[in-house]
């Protein structure tokens, strides 16, 4: 990449992604992890850090972490343990976070994404590790009221997180987005996490710097870590902004990675800029040590094997299967799979009922997804069920009515409850039997004899004008059927 | 081996303790004697000893992912010096250096 009239640069990005695991209860106590409860109502002595309370591991969190690790091709080392990461902050009542320092539960994996510059090429993004840790609580600073005190809600405290740390293998904001999309897809397909960014169940830190090529000499700018972004768009924009900023600062000051240690920056959506964050005093000195309250985990091999067996299809395999099973193109399979588990299931049900994968895929990508976008809803809350769509499309394939009429039925189903048959009746759609169509076509040909000559001299498209007229005379006439009948009659004439 | 005053101050800062000069002076020899006590361990030859993470001979103690009742909001906040709308209320932290001396 070359910035306007500057030296060629390469962007180096590594991501740390925090994924909230989908457990009922917290990592070390039996409190609920449900989002949105009133403050401090899902707490107990353990997650409040009261003296004498002892943590006990959540078995399900361990299984989910193993599944997640396998889904990103990590190995699961035979032994893993817990460490205390010490820092003082009011949303961390124990004064330390239980995390994993030197023996994480998942090690050394990778994720494949499409190359930014060449969609035919695949890039392999290395994953250094994925470790389990507990989340902190939430502090709320009420600046508007001018009150200097902060309010602390500890409901989130102790919620299980898996932190997935990538190698600095990403080279652009778009690649970072592709990597995140792939990661989220894998986690949601597995059911390991909801990855609901609005609820903070997927959060991203990005380490960014530039390699600037100054007449053959490679100069690295100081690394900035942009913290706590909770939308893919924020990640993309923050990285783009950071690329420009680092280049400008380097031009101005000439400072390189050797002159300045890593800094922490925040991202401001409103201004579209990253900003320097005041470091928590001496925050880098976490003084990790093994947590004496917890025992090490020796992951039984059978558990890993069982997780491997239950892994199910990952995105690439799923795309492959949708292509062969439903006869759709790779591009279409990709679009559907990228929407996640719910939409994939919707497609498969509808395509099976309709018996026409291609038609179902194009309807879902156009009519269904557009409606979901317009209404800002998920497929689970969509008025037209997969079975209804399947039945509707099956009737289109059968020739009961055409796509345009099917769209009327579809809109009717969105607005009114009821079956496809109810909608068809309500709209006064009747299937027209073939003798009726034949009579209609004969009348039209009698009135327009020049069409017969045109078609006979090779201009098949001449029947088009008659199809329009047929539709006017009988709105229920299926254009495809009209066209075929017309051509047949002309041939016999 | 003896800790410097600066090291004691750094430890105090990390623990968010605000120590006076007198307190630093009295804590310093105490920390020294604790370190000296622990240092006795270095007399042992650990060349062929595997690193260990627990003195207990057990592992894999875990619980089912099943919700149990915790504390009511009033109970959770019962010991807090200051509260507001069901939350703990704490003095501002960001940007405030705990030790006045540093
Ligand atoms: Zn709890």
ipTM of this predicted complex? 0.85
Judge whether residue B102 has pLDDT over 50. Answer: no
The single residue listed with the structure tokens 């990855």 is: A195
State the Cα–Cα distance between residues B90 and B78, nearest whole angstrom: 15
Cα torsion angle, B85, B86, B88, B93, sign: negative
Residues 6+ apart with CB under 8 A from A122: A112, A113, A114, A115
| Phi, psi at B83, each rounded to 5° | -145, 160
Distance of CA A156 from the midpoint of ligand 1 (Å): 9
Q: What is the pLDDT of residue A146?
A: 61
State the Cα–Cα distance between residues B26 and B5, nearest whole angstrom: 11
| Phi, psi at A484, each rounded to 5° | -65, -45
| Phi, psi at A12, each rounded to 5° | -115, 120
Q: What is the largest CA-CA distance in chain A?
A: 97
Confidence of residue A491 (pLDDT cuts 50, 70, 90): confident
Confidence of residue A4 (pLDDT cuts 50, 70, 90): low
Distance of CA B84 from the midpoint of ligand 1 (Å): 21
State the Cα–Cα distance between residues A115 and A171, nearest whole angstrom: 10
Cα torsion angle, A452, A455, A460, A465, sign: negative
Question: What average pLDDT score do residues A342-357 get?
Answer: 94
Question: What average pLDDT score do residues A38-60 get?
Answer: 96
Candidate from B13, B54, B76 with C-beta closest to A48 = B76
State the Cα–Cα distance between residues A155 and A72, nearest whole angstrom: 30
pLDDT digits (tens, 9 = 90+) for A150-197: 899 999 999 999 999 999 999 999 999 999 999 999 998 888 998 888
Interface test with B, best of A151, A158, A227, A279 (most B CBs within 10 A): A151
The beta strands (E) that lie in A25-82 are given as: 57-58, 79-80
Question: Mind spelling out the 3-state secondary structure of A274-325?
Answer: EEECCCCCCCCCCCCEECCCCCCEECCHHHHHHHHHCCCCCHHHHHHHHHHH
A112 three-class SS: strand
Pick from A77-91, A241-255, A430-444, B54-68: least confident: A430-444
Cα torsion angle, A113, A116, A120, A126, sign: negative
Contact A58 B63 (CB under 8 A): yes
Distance of CA A154 from the midpoint of ligand 1 (Å): 9
Q: How crowded is the C-beta side of A422, counted as CA atoms within 13 Å?
A: 10
Cα torsion angle, A374, A379, A385, A388, sign: positive
Interface test with A, best of B17, B71, B86 (most A CBs within 10 A): B71
Question: What average pLDDT score do residues A35-59 get?
Answer: 95
State how beta strands A138-141 and A150-153 pair: antiparallel
State the Cα–Cα distance between residues A248 and A23, nearest whole angstrom: 45
State the Cα–Cα distance between residues A409 and A414, nearest whole angstrom: 9
- Closest approach of A251 to chain B, Cα-based (Å): 30
pLDDT digits (tens, 9 = 90+) for B40-62: 999 999 888 887 777 777 778 89
In A, minimum Cα distance to B102 occurs at A281
In A, minimum Cα distance to B91 occurs at A149
Judge whether residue B95 has pLDDT over 50. Answer: no
State the Cα–Cα distance between residues A477 and A400, nearest whole angstrom: 9
**To the nearest whole number, what is the mean pLDDT of chain B?**
85
Q: What is the pLDDT of residue A457?
A: 85
In A, minimum Cα distance to B60 occurs at A297
Residues in chain A: 493
In A, minimum Cα distance to B99 occurs at A281
B81 touches chain A (CB under 8 A): no
pLDDT digits (tens, 9 = 90+) for A391-446: 999 998 887 888 888 999 999 999 988 898 888 888 877 767 778 888 888 888 88
Distance of CA B35 from the midpoint of ligand 1 (Å): 35
What number of other Cβ atoms are within 10 A of residue A329's Cβ?
A: 12
- Per the CB < 8 A criterion, the answer to whether A420 and A395 are in contact is yes
Question: Percent of chain A, pLDDT > 70?
Answer: 96
pLDDT digits (tens, 9 = 90+) for A86-105: 988 889 999 999 999 999 99
**What residue segments make up the domains of chain A, in order of their start?**
9-302, 313-426, 434-492
Confidence of residue B93 (pLDDT cuts 50, 70, 90): low
Token pair for A467: 């199809």
- Number of continuous H segments (helices) and E segments (strands) in chain A: 16, 17
Count contacts between A and B (CB, < 8 Å): 130
Judge whether residue A2 has pLDDT over 50. Answer: no
What number of other Cβ atoms are within 10 A of residue A256's Cβ?
A: 14
- Per the CB < 8 A criterion, the answer to whether A34 and A42 are in contact is yes
- Per the CB < 8 A criterion, the answer to whether A294 and A57 are in contact is yes
Confidence of residue B4 (pLDDT cuts 50, 70, 90): very high
Confidence of residue B33 (pLDDT cuts 50, 70, 90): very high
Question: What average pLDDT score do residues B23-30 get?
Answer: 95
Q: What is the pLDDT of residue B100?
A: 29
Residues 6+ apart with CB under 8 A from B66: A24, A25, A30
Candidate from B58, B73, B97 with C-beta closest to A295 = B58
Q: What is the pLDDT of residue B96?
A: 42
Which residues of chain A are within 8 Å of residue B18 when distances are taken between CB atoms? none
Report how far apart, in Å, the C-alpha atoms of B91 and of each of A152, B76, B101 are.
11, 19, 19
Q: What is the pLDDT of residue B101?
A: 28
CA angle A221, A224, A228 (to 5 degrees): 160
**What residue segments make up the domains of chain B, in order of their start?**
1-43
Question: What average pLDDT score do residues B29-47 get?
Answer: 93
B29/A230: higher pLDDT: B29
Question: What average pLDDT score do residues A99-123 get?
Answer: 90
- Per the CB < 8 A criterion, the answer to whether A257 and A223 are in contact is yes
Question: What average pLDDT score do residues A282-298 get?
Answer: 84
Question: What average pLDDT score do residues A40-62 get?
Answer: 96
CA angle B73, B76, B77 (to 5 degrees): 90
pLDDT digits (tens, 9 = 90+) for A137-154: 998 876 666 667 889 999
- Per the CB < 8 A criterion, the answer to whether A256 and A219 are in contact is yes
In A, minimum Cα distance to B62 occurs at A57
Pick from A306-310, A424-428, B68-72, B84-88: least confident: A424-428
What number of other Cβ atoms are within 10 A of residue B95's Cβ?
A: 9
Judge whether residue B98 has pLDDT over 50. Answer: no
State the Cα–Cα distance between residues B50 and A465, nearest whole angstrom: 88
Q: Please, which residues bridge with residue A204 across strands? A: A17, A229
Question: What average pLDDT score do residues A284-296 get?
Answer: 89
Instruction: Mark out the alpha helices in A131-204 (DSSP H runs).
Output: 173-190
Distance of CA A26 from the midpoint of ligand 1 (Å): 7
A61/A141: higher pLDDT: A61
Q: What is the pLDDT of residue A131?
A: 97
Contact B73 A154 (CB under 8 A): no
| Phi, psi at A214, each rounded to 5° | -100, 100
A146/A373: higher pLDDT: A373
Q: What is the pLDDT of residue A280?
A: 53
Pick from A316-330, A440-454, A465-479, B79-93: least confident: A465-479
Question: What average pLDDT score do residues A464-488 get?
Answer: 83
Q: What is the pLDDT of residue B99?
A: 30
According to CATH, the topology of domain B1-43 is Histone, subunit A (1.10.20)
Chosen CATH of A434-492 out of 3.90.820, 1.10.10, 3.30.450, 1.10.760: 1.10.10
Which residues of chain B are within 8 Å of residue A20 when distances are taken between CB atoms? none
């Amino acid at each position: 990449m070359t910035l306007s009239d500057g030296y060629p640069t390469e962007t180096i990005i590594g991501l740390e992604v925090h994924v909230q695991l989908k457990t009922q209860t917290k990592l070390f106590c039996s409190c609920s992890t449900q989002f949105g409860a009133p403050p401090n109502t899902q707490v107990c002595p353990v997650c409040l850090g009261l003296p004498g309370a002892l943590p006990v591991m959540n078995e399900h969190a361990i299984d989910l972490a193993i599944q997640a690790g396998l889904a990103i091709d990590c190995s699961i080392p035979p032994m893993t343990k817990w460490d205390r990461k010490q820092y003082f902050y009011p949303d961390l009542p124990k004064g330390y976070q239980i995390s994993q320092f030197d023996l994480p539960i998942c090690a050394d994996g990778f994720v494949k994404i499409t190359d930014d510059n060449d969609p035919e090429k695949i890039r392999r993004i290395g994953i250094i590790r994925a470790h389990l840790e507990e989340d902190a609580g939430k502090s709320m600073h009420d600046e508007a009221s001018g009150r200097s005190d902060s309010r602390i809600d500890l409901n989130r405290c102790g919620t299980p997180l898996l932190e997935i740390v990538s190698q600095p293998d990403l080279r652009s904001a778009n690649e970072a987005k592709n990597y995140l999309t792939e990661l989220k897809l894998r986690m949601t397909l597995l059911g390991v996490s909801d990855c609901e960014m609005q609820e903070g169940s997927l959060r991203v830190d990005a380490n960014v710097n530039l390699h600037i090529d100054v007449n053959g000499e490679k100069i690295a700018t100081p690394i900035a870590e942009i913290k706590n972004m909770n939308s893919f768009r924020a990640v993309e924009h923050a990285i783009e902004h950071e690329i420009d900023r680092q280049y400008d600062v380097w031009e101005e000051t000439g400072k390189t990675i050797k002159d300045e240690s890593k800094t922490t920056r925040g991202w401001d959506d409103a201004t579209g800029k990253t900003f320097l964050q005041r470091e928590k005093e001496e925050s880098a000195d976490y003084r990790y040590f093994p947590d004496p309250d917890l025992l090490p985990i020796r992951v039984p091999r059978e558990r890993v094997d069982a997780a491997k067996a239950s892994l199910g299809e990952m995105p690439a395999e799923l795309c492959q299967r949708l292509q062969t099973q439903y006869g759709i193109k790779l591009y279409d399979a990709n679009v559907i799979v990228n929407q996640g588990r719910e939409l994939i299931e919707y497609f498969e049900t509808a395509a099976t009922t309709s018996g026409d994968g291609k038609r179902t895929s194009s309807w879902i990508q156009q009519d269904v997804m557009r409606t979901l976008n317009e209404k800002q809803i998920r497929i689970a809350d969509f008025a037209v069920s997969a079975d209804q769509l399947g039945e509707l499309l099956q009737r289109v394939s059968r020739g009961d009515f055409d796509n345009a009429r099917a769209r009327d039925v579809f809109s009717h189903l969105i607005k009114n409850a009821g079956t496809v048959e109810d909608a068809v009746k309500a709209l006064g759609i009747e299937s027209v039997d073939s003798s009726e169509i034949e009579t209609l076509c004969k009348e039209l040909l009698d009135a327009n004899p020049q069409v017969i000559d045109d078609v006979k001299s090779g201009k098949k498209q001449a029947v088009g004008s008659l199809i329009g007229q047929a539709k006017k005379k009988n709105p229920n006439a299926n254009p495809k059927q009209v066209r075929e009948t017309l051509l047949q009659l002309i041939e016999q004439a | 081996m003896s800790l410097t005053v600066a090291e004691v101050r750094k430890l105090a800062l990390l623990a968010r303790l605000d120590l006076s000069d007198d307190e630093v002076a009295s804590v310093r020899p105490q920390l020294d004697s604790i370190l000296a006590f622990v240092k006795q361990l270095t007399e042992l030859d650990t060349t062929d000893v595997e690193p260990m993470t627990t003195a207990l001979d057990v592992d894999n103690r875990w619980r089912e992912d099943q919700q149990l009742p915790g504390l009511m909001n009033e109970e959770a906040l019962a010991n807090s010096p200051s509260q507001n709308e069901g939350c703990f209320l704490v003095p501002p932290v960001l940007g405030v250096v705990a030790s006045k001396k540093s």
